[in-house]
């Protein structure tokens, strides 16, 4: 690895949301890719072209890569020795304290170190796993000290900014590439890879390890801030006649200093990134005795937001014996089957404690939901079946098919017409003659024109 990086084969260690999306995209770009994961069941399914999670375009791209013989899968880390560079995408889940759990990544790194010790050619290791600031410098570099001293290994931090539901699109069209490096030449090697991938290289920022690590945390913390901010405004709106948070969000989003993204009021954010990264940032700042009340407040708003749904249900007086509540939407957002930190889990647990019968529907996430609730609730494969003989409907995910719902659909199927729109996807003017409530909608009838 003197002046130029030879890129003939790449490897990806850790085939979760980020790793698998990255692997199949590289394979479809023409690079022979080896995907490595310790889960044998997952590997067996991937070899058949079957991912273990839903992401738009992912399965078809996986099938195409297999047909082209551009991708292989293995549980053996030894296979990386036949590649030129390795992306590390092993998960870093949260501990109860909020600190990230590094046990999985440490195990993978030690195994990679063992393999690279016997590899003749030099190697580039790209850290894409989300890491707290100074993790690379204090924990990862010491593991590879011998290889680095020999000049056989270069390490860079390259955080990802993928949105669930848009992972392939975000890999193909990144808004920015961040490269954290110890030496300038290390980052240049990774830049050579990106020049091979993209016809026109996106903007690239070269920085140090800790800044690159902190960019990822700051990015997600700010997105979480915008969501909790607009939810706080929504909670005010619900107490003011005729006020509507959607109108407010639209207006302030027109200000270029603010922007419209992530200003959609709802039941709170979930998923695998925002809650975890926010908790980790709080934990990290606490260790350094820094004030973290701001981040704690963002987290507190999000954790209490599901109670706003419960309060709306109380106003509808549906918490009575033998009542049935229908839940439309289980995943934490549309276009994914991911239910991690989903508000639907919190709501359903609360309803079951109150002895309410629960029926649920979701285009993608019901199998994952069944792993948690088993036969305690009813799973409905159609919206009509979910609404049938229900006393109340709560919308918790903004799936497109729910946006198309009309008052007539509810009237035809429900026993009582009580609707709580937790995602603000229905037009309150169309539902004004029904018992309709929504996050961030003033308590009196909306009559002004849109």
Supply the residues annotated as catalytic: 273
Strand, coil or helix: what is 435? strand
How many separate helices (H) and strands (E) can be counted in the chain? 19, 14
Of the candidates 426, 420, 369, the one whose C-alpha atom is nearest the C-alpha of residue 400 is 426
Please state, as a whole number, how many other Cβ atoms lie within 10 Å of the Cβ of residue 14.
Answer: 24
Q: Which residues pair with 435 in a beta bridge?
A: 418
CB 12 within 8 A of CB 22: yes
Residue 100: DSSP 8-state: B
**Residues for the chain: how many in total?**
450
Please state, as a whole number, how many other Cβ atoms lie within 10 Å of the Cβ of residue 366.
Answer: 18
Q: Where are the alpha helices (DSSP H) in 342-392?
A: 343-353, 366-373, 383-387
- How far apart, in whole angstroms, are the C-alpha atoms of residue 97 and residue 280? 8
**What is the CA angle 290-178-299, rounded to 5?**
35
CA dist 60 → 67, 171, 256 (Å)? 11, 16, 38
CB 356 within 8 A of CB 324: yes
CA dist 188 → 156, 184, 247 (Å)? 10, 6, 47
Q: Which residues pair with 94 in a beta bridge?
A: 100
CB 371 within 8 A of CB 365: no
- How far apart, in whole angstroms, are the C-alpha atoms of residue 177 and residue 160? 8
Q: Which residues pair with 326 in a beta bridge?
A: 359, 393
> How large is the angle between the packed helices 343-353 and 306-315, nearest 10 degrees?
40
How many alpha carbons fall within 13 Å on the CB side of residue 300?
6
Please state, as a whole number, how many other Cβ atoms lie within 10 Å of the Cβ of residue 332.
Answer: 27
Non-local CB neighbours of 236 within 8 Å, separated by 6+ positions: 243
Structure tokens at 348: 């359903």
- Phi first, then psi: give them for residue 445, nearest 5 degrees: -60, 135
In the numeric block, the tokens 């020795």 are attached to 81
């Amino acid at each position: 690895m003197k002046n130029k990086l030879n890129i003939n084969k790449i490897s990806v260690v850790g085939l979760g949301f980020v790793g698998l999306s990255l692997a199949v995209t590289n394979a479809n770009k023409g690079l022979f890719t080896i995907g490595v994961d310790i889960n044998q069941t997952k590997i067996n399914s991937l070899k058949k072209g079957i991912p273990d999670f839903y992401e738009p375009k992912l399965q078809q791209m996986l099938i195409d890569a297999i047909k082209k013989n551009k991708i292989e899968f293995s549980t053996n880390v030894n296979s990386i020795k036949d590649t030129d560079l390795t992306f590390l995408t092993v998960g870093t889940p949260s501990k109860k304290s909020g600190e990230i759990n590094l046990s999985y990544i440490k195990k993978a790194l030690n195994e990679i170190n063992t393999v690279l010790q016997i590899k003749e050619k030099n190697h580039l290791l790209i850290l894409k796993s989300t890491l707290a600031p100074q993790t690379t410098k204090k924990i990862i570099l010491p593991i590879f000290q011998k290889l680095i001293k020999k000049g056989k290994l270069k390490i860079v931090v390259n955080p990802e900014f993928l949105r669930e539901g848009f992972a392939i699109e975000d890999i193909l069209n990144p808004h920015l590439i961040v490269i954290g490096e110890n030496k300038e030449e290390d980052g240049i090697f990774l830049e050579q890879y990106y020049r091979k991938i993209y016809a026109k290289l996106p903007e690239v920022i070269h920085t140090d390890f800790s800044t690159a690590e902190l960019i990822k945390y700051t990015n997600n913390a700010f997105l979480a801030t915008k969501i909790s901010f607009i939810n706080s405004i929504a909670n005010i709106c619900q107490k003011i006649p005729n006020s509507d948070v959607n109108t407010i969000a639209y207006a302030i989003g027109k200000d270029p200093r603010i922007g419209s993204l992530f200003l959609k009021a709802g039941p709170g954010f979930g998923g695998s990134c925002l809650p975890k990264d926010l908790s980790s940032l709080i934990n990290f700042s606490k260790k350094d005795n820094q004030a973290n009340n701001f981040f704690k407040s963002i987290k507190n708003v999000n954790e209490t937001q599901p109670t706003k749904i419960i309060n709306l249900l109380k106003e509808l007086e549906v918490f009575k014996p033998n009542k049935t509540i229908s839940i439309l939407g289980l995943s934490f957002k549309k276009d994914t089957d991911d239910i991690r930190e989903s508000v639907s889990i919190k709501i359903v647990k609360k309803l079951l404690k109150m002895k309410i019968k629960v029926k649920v529907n979701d285009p993608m996430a019901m199998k994952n939901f069944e792993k948690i609730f088993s036969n305690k609730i009813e799973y409905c494969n159609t919206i009509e079946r979910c609404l049938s003989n229900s006393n109340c409907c709560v919308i918790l995910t903004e799936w497109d098919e729910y946006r198309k719902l009309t008052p007539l659909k509810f009237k035809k199927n429900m026993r009582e017409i009580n609707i709580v729109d937790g995602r603000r996807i229905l037009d309150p003017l169309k539902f004004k003659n029904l018992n309709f409530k929504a996050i961030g909608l003033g308590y009196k009838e909306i009559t002004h024109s849109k």
